[in-house]
Structure 1
Amino acid sequence: MMKNLPDPAASGGARTAYLGGLAIAIGGAVLFSTKAVVAKLLYRYHIDAVTLIAFRMLFSLPVFAAIALWQMRTAPPLSTGDRWRLLGLGLIGYYLSSFLDFLGLQYISVGLERLILFLTPTFVLLISATWLQQHISRKQWLALLASYGGIVLVFLHDLKDGGSHVALGSTLVLGSATSYAVYLLASGEMVKRLGSLRLVSYAMCVSSAACIAQFFLLRPASLLLQPLPVYGLSLVNGLLCTVMPVFMTMVAVQRIGASAASQAGMIGPVSTLFLGALILGEAVTGWQLAGTALVLAGIYLLSKVKH
């Protein structure tokens, strides 16, 4: 009897589906990273971080609110405990993290900002080791050393030109990455029960409400009147750099798995570095490339550790 041979058409279809998922993951990572470049362009119109993030959420809120309403109609009601947890997650994960990030971007380059944010997985690891008493293996320590070594290289390079402003901006973005790491750890159990679509849409609605309320508390309503390019860039920031990456990442995870999707996200810091050079005219130096390579190597090592 002849053995059953693998169907070339089936294997080719699976390969095409995988490559399609990989392309979606890469596209989502590039779009999400582009928000730093868009923020820099918006700052040229002399708006501050409070106004910038409010405009971002004003344009993205209708999409997330529509999804949240749909989820409310089709899913069982939330418990009181889950409502409070979602409130906390929305404030920590998207409101505080985004606000600190956009504040920091006023002082540092988009390349350095993206590298610091890319350390989020290492913060998750360190918080887990500190608070949850999880063991850190030798390979994980090596990954941490490589990643932080890369950040130090780029930070010291930028510090020569920016001085105290670079230190302040880096600290703010570091706070952003830390708060998002806390969000990831805190949401781990909830995402299994509620699903990623429901969790993200609810949390984004909470974050949007907080960002918009903050604007009206701290700024006059007259600041809603801005030059036309501000609305255009904010639309890009809200839809292309916020809504689309969220759903593209979710689709990619469904198609190729979380591990492959996260590794595809490593293109983010590289794309930001070159987009910053192309659109903003930021210099790309050997120090920055070396630092970026170290950070990417560290995150890659971390992604290969078996949990």
Structure 2
Amino acid sequence: MNISKSGSRFIASMPQLSATAKGLSLALIATALFSLKGIWIKLAYQFGIDPASLMTLRMAFSLPIYLLLAMFWWKQGRLEHQKLKGNILPAAIVGIVGYYLASFLDLSGLQYISAPLERVVLYAYPGFTILLAWWVYRQKPQLIVVLALPLSWIGVGLMMWSEMGQQHDSQQLLWGTSLVIASAFSFAFYLVFSKNIVAKIGSQAFTLIAMIAASLAIFIHFAMQGDFTSLASYPTQVYWYAGYMALFSTVIPSFLFSEAINRIGSQRTAISGSAGPVFTLIMAAWILGDSIGLLQLLGISLVVIAVTLLNKK
């Protein structure tokens, strides 16, 4: 399975798009795939699995793919030792924060709030990304970003307001929301600090190092609090959901996101991710049977407008 060549053919098949539009397209596809994660998690939770176990199963399915790709690309000479030297540890740290920590906080939050609300709260990360980029790189936001961000916030806020009206336990709502906000900040850290590393070693090498490091961190976490033999005791459906989450909501979007960051930067990649609640809301209505209200539709419209603004030079 050569994801790199497939991705190159996919990108090459969009010659009518500008370089920025191609980057935004990659970010939106990655966002759509990542947004399915909350759906898989909610479906798996129906069978009594805990966050740490599900996170471990997800990476147990993902890690072999990353390792096979790493060996294949190393033999092809596409992972240059000279470029990797001195960048492996920073890439590993960013990967652990962005995928291990963010995933654990996110899965924990989903125990207390709905999948659409989780997506809405998680997409506070564009704001965190812009503030971090401004603080770390002194990267002042472009005017189009300043216009798009408040629109996406208002849209996300309307969707959140609609979801809050359906929650009955205020303490669970507050705790679940706090966990997901912390996850959003962790992912913003990943987006901001991955940019320079990706520029040095390439998006493919960075993604491999980051995800392998995150997988090892997840396995260590589980080993400290659980028994690996317990992972074999769940119904078959749980392994299917973990497998779907591994391939479609981890491996494929991780490469797409890294390439999007390389092409359009962390700020635009982050704000394009504001479309995540839209995808999750639609998928939750389709798969989980959740209803879509007027406020949610209005929120969707504002988020779509915000992402469209980002495609303007």
Tell me by how many angstroms 1:15 deviates.
Answer: 7.3
CA distance in 2, matches of 1:44, 1:119: 27
Provide the TM-score with structure 1 as the length reference. Answer: 0.80
Counterpart of 1:150 in structure 2 is: 155
Unpaired stretches in structure 2, ≥5 consecutive residues: 1-11
Structure 2 counterpart of 1:243, which letter?
A: V
- Taking every aligned residue pair, what percent have the same amino acid on both sides? 33
Counterpart of 2:9 in structure 1 is: none
Tell me by how many angstroms 1:199 deviates.
Answer: 0.4
Counterpart secondary structure, 2:87? helix
Tell me by how many angstroms 1:103 deviates.
Answer: 1.5
CA distance in 1, matches of 2:193, 2:177: 24
Aligned residues: 288
Tell me by how many angstroms 1:154 deviates.
Answer: 2.5
After superposition, the C-alpha distances for 1:182-214 in whole angstroms (9 at most, x for unaligned) are 111111111111110000011100001111221
* Aligned residue runs from structure 1 range 118-157, under 5 A: 118-136=123-141, 139-157=144-162
Counterpart secondary structure, 2:165? helix
Counterpart of 2:286 in structure 1 is: 278
The farther-off stretch of 263-272 and 281-290 is 263-272
CA RMSD in angstroms comes to: 3.1
Aligned equivalent of 1:294, options 281, 302, 305: 302
After superposition, the C-alpha distances for 1:198-253 in whole angstroms (9 at most, x for unaligned) are 00011100001111221121122342121111111111111122112334556789
After superposition, the C-alpha distances for 1:65-121 in whole angstroms (9 at most, x for unaligned) are 122234455321566642321231121111111111212222222222223333433
Counterpart of 1:173 in structure 2 is: 180
Whether contact under 8 Å (1:115, 1:269) holds in the other structure is: yes
Unpaired stretches in structure 1, ≥5 consecutive residues: 1-13
Counterpart secondary structure, 1:108? coil
Whether contact under 8 Å (1:115, 1:295) holds in the other structure is: no
Counterpart of 1:238 in structure 2 is: 246
Counterpart of 1:218 in structure 2 is: 225
Aligned equivalent of 1:66, options 65, 68, 75: 68
CA distance in 1, matches of 2:40, 2:96: 23
CA distance in 1, matches of 2:260, 2:206: 17
Counterpart of 2:7 in structure 1 is: none
CA distance in 1, matches of 2:92, 2:213: 6
Change (3 A) 1:82 1:264: closer
Counterpart of 2:194 in structure 1 is: 187
CA distance in 2, matches of 1:248, 1:135: 25
Q: Quick check: 1:54 aligned with 2:61? A: no
After superposition, the C-alpha distances for 1:108-157 in whole angstroms (9 at most, x for unaligned) are 22222223333433321122234444434665444332222223323333
Provide the TM-score with structure 2 as the length reference. Answer: 0.79
